Amino acid sequence: MVKASNLKTFYREAGDPQKPALILFHGFPSASHMFRDLIPELVDQFYLIAPDYPGFGQSEAPDSRNFTYTFDHLAEIMEHFLEQLGIKNFYMYVFDYGAPIGFRIAVKHPDWIKGIISQNGNVYQEGLGEKWAARKNFWDSPTPEKRESYRSTFAPETIINQYKYGTLEGSVSPDGYMLDIAYTHSKGYADRQLDLIFDYQNNIRLYPVFQNYLKEYQPKLLAVWGKNDPSFIYPGAEAFKKDDPKTQVALLDSGHFALESHAKVIAQLIKGYFC
């Protein structure tokens, strides 16, 4: 636990600090525990850091009435978190919400980034599944009723389906989604998550900025995708190749939370491309 922007920030740490750093940016509705199977597979090659964002996991969760839950703000705090640890040269793994957070940091500090693993971490219109049309309707004409309807996003059955959809029967353990469900009962959870759902529109507006970063700096990039993900569809993985010739794409027979079924495979892909 460290203080980042005066907030207690929880993180998981493993490996030798003398090895290349790999920062693991989690997604929604999860936290750093989503990397529990990946970290042991990579600890021989990397110094691994997996933080929980404010309002997620074990990190401090300020009341949304006194704290701005936006992706700009979360990225700013994660930037400060890295500065507190003295880490300014690293690989980053971005998943789901981790993509707009990680790419904001990359745009601001391109010299910090050694390479990127994007696992269902979308920054292209091509990667947006059908549900995003309904989100756009909410963003364009928000009402209290529409906002309230998104409470279903963190209902237990929705979270379980998000983990299991597109995966082989029996390939996903309950550990990850049951902990995510437990976190939904924390004080103020719904309000802070609904704020972020509304703010997600600003991530899509920044897609051209993220793409320009890729065009200009061309980092080594591994786009490894659960190809059955209905939220961030696999053309979003292929789209990286338009802007970054150093992109390698791997499509896995899994869903959104591909690490739950393919952690060993993803670890081998990372080692094969970056080590």
Q: What is the DSSP string of 212-247?
A: HHHHHH---EEEEEETT-SSB-THHHHHHHHH-TTE
Domains and CATH numbers, the chain: 2-274 (3.40.50.1820)
What are the backbone dihedrals phi and psi of residue 250, each rounded to the nearest 5 degrees, phi first?
-130, 120
State which amino acid sits at residue 26: H
Q: Do 34 and 26 meet the contact criterion of CB atoms below 8 Å apart?
A: yes
What does the alpha-carbon distance between residue 86 and residue 209 come to, in Å, rounded to a whole number? Answer: 26
pLDDT in tens, 39-78: 999 999 999 999 999 999 999 999 999 999 999 999 999 9
pLDDT (mean) for 222-245: 98
Give yes or no for residue 4 having a pLDDT over 90: no
* CB neighbourhood size of 63 (10 A): 11
pLDDT in tens, 107-129: 999 999 999 999 999 999 999 99
Q: Which residue has the tokens 């920044």?
A: 206
Q: Do 124 and 230 meet the contact criterion of CB atoms below 8 Å apart?
A: no
Tell me the pairing of strands 11-14 and 21-25: unpaired
Q: Which of 26, 33, 256, 262 is catalytic?
A: 256
- % of the chain beyond a pLDDT of 90: 97
Dihedral in degrees, nearest 10, Cα atoms 240, 103, 100, 269: 50
pLDDT in tens, 254-264: 999 999 999 99
Give yes or no for residue 25 having a pLDDT over 90: yes
pLDDT in tens, 80-104: 999 999 999 999 999 999 999 999 9
Residues 6+ apart with CB under 8 A from 78: 4, 25, 51, 53, 101, 105
pLDDT (mean) for 175-190: 96
Predicted local distance difference test score (pLDDT) of residue 72: 98
Structure pTM? 0.97
Q: What is the mean pLDDT of the chain?
A: 97
Q: Is 109 a catalytic residue?
A: no
The torsion region of residue 120 among left (phi > 0), alpha (psi -120 to 50) and beta comes to left
Angle at 141 between CA 232 and CA 67, to 5 degrees: 75
Provide Rg for the chain, Cα atoms.
Answer: 17
DSSP H or E stretch at residue 100: helix 98-108
Q: Which residue has the tokens 């190749």?
A: 241
Dihedral in degrees, nearest 10, Cα atoms 124, 126, 128, 132: 100
